Amino acid sequence: MKKEFRVIADLLENNTRVLDVGCGDGSLMSFLKDNKNIEVRGLELNKDNVQKCITKGLPVIQGNAETELHQFPKKSFDYVVLSQTLQAFYDPDKVLKELLRIGKSVIISIPNFGFWKVRVKLLFFGKMPVTKTLPNTWYNTPNLHMCTIKDLFDFCDEKKINIIKVIGLNEDKTSIIKRSNLEIKNLISKLGIFLIS
Amino acid sequence: MNIKIENIKKLNVSKPLKLDCGKTINNFPLAYETFGTLNSEKDNAILVFHALTGDQFVAGMNPITKKEGWWVTAVGPGKALDTDKYFVICANVIGGCMGSLGPRNINPETKEPYGLDFPVITIRDMVRAQESLLEHLGIKKLLCATGGSMGGMQLLQFCATFPDKTFSAIPIACSSSHSAQNIALNELARQAIMADPVWENGKYLKKNIQPKNGLAVARMVGHISYLSEKGMQEKFGRKLQEKADYEFSFNADFQVESYLRHQGNTFVERFDANSVLYITRAMDYFDLSKQFQGGLTEAFKNQKTKFLVISFSSDWLYTTRENKDIVIALNASGADVSFSEIITDKGHDSFLVDETEFLKTLKGFIDSMYEKLKNEKRI
């Protein structure tokens, strides 16, 4: 399982209820169910992934998070997890509101557009950055609303969303991000993982 | 219709069954068939609920029609409902005409076929009758229960009425309450039968005949609704039936006409017209939320059953939206539910045909549920 999922798993308490939005082939769900006795549910758009989850015995609903989160009742999950998809929605603000309605807490990870390599590519080459975390070119990227870790901090402040913990991830190295070290961490983290409520 | 139904498996249900209409039936026949072997733990049983014109012969050869069972694509050795591994059960619904108590049976009071003296039955009555069969077979809890169309409706009712009788459930292309469009189509089928002069208020069996014309039209209505617009266009288009040009008559010039006439004509050989009236009525009366104050969410309260709801993109009879409403209610009640929409042009009929994606999903779910059940027992 990828490092990002390990970090997310560590943020979740055992014996809870978790909704994994955009659960892919269910690898995070499998891990949470087997190792943390977490009751998992998934929402996934891709039908091949849906079938993989079903074959693994993981409960998954085929659907689009952009339009179908309304089916989940208020505070029906302890956590809602959204991995690297917030930036791909037409209306991330609305999706985030829905996530916070459904979950007592929400975990979001974002590919950090403030990572130094990304900045260098744009600054010195004058081209849209293509990196390991952002592998697509400008015309075929699903990412409509790229943002940086700093942007998401500011967004949460503006929307009065409570930030419980933020973890920066660079390859296998993790570090806690706070307002005090935000400038440097925003430069050296490939991914930002936010626990909010 | 001259079918021999004496030699099929029947359970005599001696326990009185109080029907929703207020009447009680007892000592009635429930015809069923089983496939595969029940293991010693009795935990590998799958109950299939059949659709409107289905019967208990899901797989193998139907001894009455001499044709393949209606769900051979899904049931058999190595298939999704693998009869090498699982014990598959299917019962003919009451109100039907394949051996279970229905309007064709003799009314002990009049010594004549019931006809319209048969009590109006509901989906819940059908399901309650089938519970006796599980008791008879000694099955406390099913591994899985499934059904498409009206079979799915029976399944939802089964789960709501008996919340602890099945480990998992797969409602396919169904609805928790019959829509206005579906009631309208059923009414069309019923009116076609009742408009046939042979029908004679349901008393045709006394003369040992069937209102064939009306029944065939009723079946044609059904067949149109089971296909999608695109599927129908691709299959038939404007193709002519074994002729070079129009005949300038009302014979079946078009292939689609010929197809409908054929479907209608073969149907009257195996089905009873009054059964169509009774079963379509049961479907129309079906509204699960009406039975539970607080609606559908209340119907699925405290469900331990693991659900997989499946819909088909081109099904306009039981749409994806209607199937999703079931998912939403299950979600709201906190049940363990999966949902998959199969993308296909084959319309409502998709669950009966060789639709690879669908069958793969079905198999994947059932096998994973069996494994899960075994694991839970180990712990």
Let me know if B315 is a catalytic residue: yes
> Is there a domain that residue A122 lies in?
no
- Residue B125 catalytic? no
pLDDT in tens, chain B (379 residues): 445 666 789 999 999 999 999 999 999 999 999 999 999 999 999 999 999 999 999 998 998 888 999 999 999 999 999 999 999 999 999 999 999 999 999 999 999 999 999 999 999 999 999 999 999 999 999 999 999 999 999 999 999 999 999 999 999 999 999 999 999 999 999 999 999 999 999 999 999 999 999 999 999 999 999 999 999 999 999 999 999 999 999 999 999 999 999 999 999 999 999 999 999 999 999 999 999 987 899 999 989 999 999 999 999 999 999 999 999 999 999 999 999 999 999 999 999 999 999 999 999 999 999 999 999 988 7
Q: What one-letter code names the amino acid at B323? A: N
pLDDT computed for residue B377 by the predictor: 87
Q: How is residue B346 annotated by DSSP?
A: S
B-chain residues near A69 (CB < 8 A): none
What is the predicted pLDDT for the residue at B372? 95
Residues belonging to chain B with any Cβ–Cβ distance to chain A shorter than 8 Å: 306, 308, 324, 327-328, 331-332, 334, 336-341, 343, 357, 360-361, 364-365, 367-369, 371-372
Best A49, A56, A71 member to test B by mutation, with max B CBs in 10 Å, is A71
* Residues linked to residue A18 through DSSP beta bridges, in sequence order: A40, A79
pTM across the whole model: 0.94
Q: For chain B, list the domains and their CATH numbers.
A: 10-179+287-378 (3.40.50.1820), 184-279 (1.10.1740.110)
Q: Report how many domains make up chain A.
A: 1
- For B321, residues 6+ apart whose C-beta sits below 8 A from its C-beta are none
Q: Any residues with CB less than 8 A from the CB of B286 and at least 6 apart, and which? A: B122, B123, B153, B157, B175, B177, B178
B229: Cβ contacts below 8 Å, ≥ 6 apart: B316
Residue A73 placed within a domain: yes
Q: Exposure of B13 by Cβ count < 10 A (0-12 exposed, 13-18 middle, 19+ buried)?
A: buried
Task: State whether A54 and B368 contact (CB < 8 Å).
Answer: yes
Question: Which residues on adjacent β-strands are paired with residue B310?
Answer: B172, B340
Provide the ipTM: 0.91
Chain A residues with CB-CB distance to B331 below 8 A: 61, 71-73, 76
Compute CA A165 distance to the chain's CA centroid, rounded to the nearest angstrom: 14
Q: How far is A112 from chain B (nearest CA, A)?
A: 32
What are the residue ranges of helices labelled H in chain B?
Answer: 123-137, 150-161, 180-194, 212-226, 229-235, 255-270, 273-285, 288-291, 296-299, 320-332, 356-378
Question: Distance between alpha carbon B358 and the CA centroid of its chain, in Å?
Answer: 18
pLDDT for residue B41: 95
Whether residue A120 lies inside any domain: the answer is: no
Contact yes or no for A56 and B368 at CB 8 A: yes
pLDDT value of position B6: 67
Active site residue B149: yes
Q: Is residue A125 part of a domain?
A: no
What is the maximum alpha-carbon separation in chain B? 73
**Residues A138-183 pLDDT 10s:** 999 999 999 999 999 999 999 999 999 999 999 999 999 999 999 9
Supply the pLDDT for residue B64: 85
d(C-alpha B113, C-alpha B99), whole Å: 14
SS3 of residue A168 by DSSP: strand
Contact with chain B for residue A27, Cβ under 8 A: no
Are the C-beta atoms of residues A41 and A77 closer than 8 Å to each other? yes
- Range(s) of the domain holding residue A84: 3-112+143-179+191-196
CATH code of the domain in which A52 resides: 3.40.50.150
User: DSSP letter string over B334-369?
Assistant: T-EEEEEEEP-SSGGGGGGS--HHHHHHHHHHHHHH
Determine the pLDDT at residue B1.
44
Note the pLDDT of residue B293: 85
A132 to chain B, closest Cα gap in Å: 32
With respect to residue A124, please indicate whether it lies within any of the assigned structural domains: no
Does the residue A92 lie in any domain?
Answer: yes
**Tens-digit pLDDT profile for chain A (197 aa)?**
899 999 999 999 999 999 999 999 999 999 999 999 999 999 999 999 999 999 999 999 999 999 999 989 999 999 999 999 999 999 999 999 999 999 999 999 999 999 999 999 999 999 999 988 899 999 999 999 999 999 999 999 999 999 999 999 999 999 999 999 999 999 999 999 999 99
C-beta separation of B141 from B167 below 8 A:
yes
Mutation target among B324, B328, B338 for the A interface, most CBs of A within 10 A: B338
In angstroms, the separation between the Cα of residue B17 and the nearest Cα of chain A is 36
Looking at chain A, which residue has its C-alpha nearest residue B340?
A62
- Does A63 reach chain B within 8 Å, measured CB to CB? yes
Which candidate in B100, B149, B168, B311 is catalytic?
A: B149
**Which of A47, A50, A57 is opposite residue B369, by nearest beta carbon?**
A57
Contact B145, B84 (CB under 8 A): no
Does any domain span residue A19? yes
Amino acid letter at B339?
A: F
How far apart CA B72 and CA B68 sit, in angstroms, is 7
Of A41, A57, A76, the CB nearest to B371: A57
Residue A87 inside a domain? The answer is yes
